[in-house]
Structures are given as C-alpha cells and as structure tokens.
Amino acid sequence: MSDQSSQPAADHRRLGRELDLFDTDPLIGAGLPYWLPAGAAVRHEVEEYIREVERRAGYRHVYSPVLGKRELYEISGHWAHYREDMFPPMELGGEQLVLRPSLCPHHAVIFRSRARSYRELPLRMAELGGMYRSERSGVLGGLTRVRSIQLNDAHIFCTLDQVAQEVRAALELIREAYRVLGIEASRYRLSLPGEGGKYVADPAMWRRAGELLSGVLDEAGIAYESVEGEAAFYGPKIDVQILDAAGREATLSTIQVDFHQPERFDLRYIGPDGARHRPVMVHRAVIGSVERAVAQLIERHEGAFPAWLAPVQLVALPVTDAQVPAAAALVEKCLAAGLRAELLLPEEGSLGARIRTARLVPYQAVIGAREAAEEALALRLRDGRRPGVLPVAEAVARIRAQVADRRSELWAEES
C-alpha cells in the first residue's frame, strides 16, 4: 500500500481522487492543483455564493492582475516583511515583476486612483483573486498547502469610527457563510504580534487595532484566545480556525485592522470639513482561500455535498433501453432549469448497481415504463427516502427550489 493508506477516510486528497474533483501533475508542479469538472462545479457554486452575499452586504467587486512591480510591494511592506513567502522576481525590460503574495496593495492603489469623499465610506472592495506563495515543496499537498491560491478577499476603507461596525458585520458574514456551507469553526483566535523583526513597529497602532478587534469579539459574546506571533506584519487579526479530518487546525477566515498600509500608500479621503483625512483599512476573508474552503467542504460532507453544491444534482435512471428517450428528455429539462443532471444508461449495470454508483447524487430519478408513459419519475433521495412518483415538471420545480435557496435538507414536504 502507498502512504495514502494512513490518510483518514474523509481525507480530502483521497476523496478528491475518488470523486474526480481535482488532481495534480508533476509536469505542472507541486502545490499547483487543477480542478476537474466535478470539483470545478463545487468551486463555482462556492464562489457565486460568496459574490452574492458580498453584493447584498454592500461590497463592490473588482479584478486586478496577479502580477505587480517589486516597487508596489516595497511600498506595502511585503518586500521587507514577507519576502520569504514570495516567488523570486521576474526581470522584464529593466523592471522586476513579482507574483503577488496578497491583494491588499492592488486594492490600495485602486482606492487611491480616484478622489474619495467621506460619502463613499465605508468603501467595500472585494475580489476573488489569485495570489501566490512560495511554500517549500515538502509541505505541499492536496488543496490545503498550495502555491497558487484563489483568495476570497476584501478591503474596507473607512473612518476610525466605522471600523467596529465593519468588523462586526464581517464577523456576521463569516458566521452566516459557515451556516450555509455547513462549516464549523473550531475556535476564534485574536492574533497579536510576537517577538522578532517581522512586524512593523508602532506600539500605539498595534494597541488601538487590537482593542478594536477584542471589543467586537467581547460584544458579540464570542470566546477567543489571544495568541502572540500570529498577526499579519501590518496589524492584528481575528482568525477563525477550523479542523481537518485528521484534527489539524488551520485558519480559514480572517478580519484584520490595518493603520499601516493607508500610511504607506498615502491614502486620503475628503472629510465633511473639506480637509484630507487618512482612512483605515479592514482586511477580511469570509472563506479565506477557495482551495482550503473546498477541502474543508469535501471532508465535512465526505463527498455527499448539499444539493446546491453537488457536482451532479440529479441522475436519470431509465429502467430499460425503452425509457432512455424519456430519461434523456428529463436531463434536458433539468439542464434548462439550471440544474446539473446526468443520464446513467442501462448498459452501465443493473438498476441497483447504478443507484450505488450514484449514491452521492442527491436526487435519483428512476424512469420505468409507467413513468415514461405519464411523463413522470420515481424519485429517490440520497438518504434513502422515496418521495414517490411525481410529474417531471413538479419534481424539477421542487428540486430547483431546494437548490436555489441553498437549503441543507434535500426535500421539503409540501406545505
């Protein structure tokens, strides 16, 4: 047996291979996974969900490039404080370009690109964007230790008076997302600076930012631990910790208060007094890296994703070849309704064998002679329940409603 036999049953690397969700290839490189269609479907749903809740919470999305000039990171402080984690610069036409290790500098520049008024604040800028970390090859694996990261990032530019409310709202957004996705926080951590030269020096700034974060946690009644040495180099943060299937802890979500980068980039807005003022930057990631979030979802649900996340939501099972046209028509109707559906033909095995093959698919539609004649289907749920024979139009509409509302339960009895 390979070393994979020591992985727990729910290890996302094992499930990722078994369920054709993602993989890696030595020719692409370690820590650079690619997503297969089934995994890409899950990831797409997660990303769309995040964009939707962010839009509703008043965020506006931008796109920015994954490269920037070395000078950009010298200004932000990444070059001085974070260079070990960055890929070496690329020389091009007398300039040095680097793969970005975070999105903050780009967003600070976007904020600075226009004259800003206090009326625009809090300005919530969000992006699901790529970033890169030069992790050592020895620690790479699956989706949790990668060199290429898609970050669910946002930066809120606001006044000092607005910080607490923005942190509170971001914390609420994280808790709501965990509820919908079925993720459980193992603990909350207030990450403060430790010894050593990695942190920018400004004791008053650290104290004030730390008090803002602990104040919001206290007020929300959230138990947390203060840990030294885990802060970002530019400011303290709230880390929301999760456990993987093997019980290892990792940070999924963060909220950070930053007085440093607004200074470095000389960010300003015009206040009600007509004078120029310095905004504060709140960095926050609701699900952190999309890779780590999906790894967590794979392990938590052991491949049996909630219907809205399932790579295939409905499988059509014609009992014999005579019902294949009716089953194919059902798949067409599902696709037209925005569902992910597939046909599993009689040549793939007995009905029982095909139901076992599709055991992770939330909705299994069996079509025999009677169902085909009546434009109906006999519905089975992944959990073994059988809602019975339903007209095709009704079944599709009800499944679509479950999925559109991102409900965790598979089926709602008619009210």
Residue 322: DSSP 8-state: G
Query: Based on CB atoms, which residue is closest to Zn ion, 283 or 354?
Result: 283
Q: Minimum distance from CB of 104 to Zn ion (Å)?
A: 3
Classify 158 in phi/psi space as left (phi over 0), alpha (psi -120 to 50) or beta.
beta
Nearer to Zn ion, 155 or 382 (CB): 155
Helices 392-404, 324-336: inter-axial angle, 10-degree rounding: 40
| CA 261/CA 243 separation, integer angstroms | 31
Stretch binding Zn ion (CB under 5 A), from 140-148, 193-201, 277-285, 390-398: 277-285
The C-alpha atoms of residue 205 and residue 303 are separated, in whole angstroms, by 45
Binding to Zn ion (CB under 5 A) within 167-226 occurs at none
Please identify, among the stretches 104-112, 202-210, 263-271, 395-403, the one whose residues bind Zn ion according to the rule CB under 5 A.
104-112
**CA–CA gap between residue 129 and residue 102 (Å, rounded):** 9
Tokens at 292, concatenated? 């780590």
Q: By CB under 5 A, which span of 17-25, 101-109, 214-222, 389-397 interacts with Zn ion?
A: 101-109
Which residue's CB is nearer to Zn ion, number 230 or number 302?
Answer: 230
**Sole binder of Zn ion in the list 283, 300, 354, 382 (CB under 5 A):** 283
In the set 104, 267, 312, 360, which binds Zn ion (CB under 5 A)? Answer: 104
Shortest reach from residue 161's CB to Zn ion, in Å:
21
Q: Are strands 148-158 and 123-132 parallel, antiparallel or unpaired?
A: antiparallel
Choose one: 99-107, 211-219, 333-341, 372-380; the region binding Zn ion (CB under 5 A): 99-107
Q: What is the DSSP letter of 235?
A: B
Which residue number, 151 or 309, has a Cβ lying nearer to Zn ion? 151
> How many residues interact with Zn ion (rule CB under 5 A)?
2
Residue range at the interface with Zn ion (CB under 5 A); choices 100-108, 158-166, 171-179, 317-325: 100-108
232 beta partners: 235
CA distance 321 to 315: 16
Strands (E), 248-406: 249-258, 269-270, 276-277, 280-285, 314-318, 341-343, 363-367, 376-381, 388-391
CB of 103 to Zn ion, least distance (A): 6
Cβ atoms of 109 and 281 within 8 Å: the answer is: no
Q: How far is the CB of 211 from Zn ion (least distance, A)?
A: 20
User: Using CA atoms, how far apart are residues 11 and 13, in angstroms rounded to an integer?
Assistant: 5
**At its nearest, how many Å lie between Zn ion and the CB of residue 152?**
11
Instruction: Indicate the residue among 81 and 283 with the shorter CB distance to Zn ion.
Output: 283
Query: Nearest approach, Cβ of 295 to Zn ion (angstroms)?
Result: 22
128 touches Zn ion by CB under 5 A: no
Three-state DSSP at 125 gives strand
Contacts with Zn ion by CB under 5 A lie at 104, 283
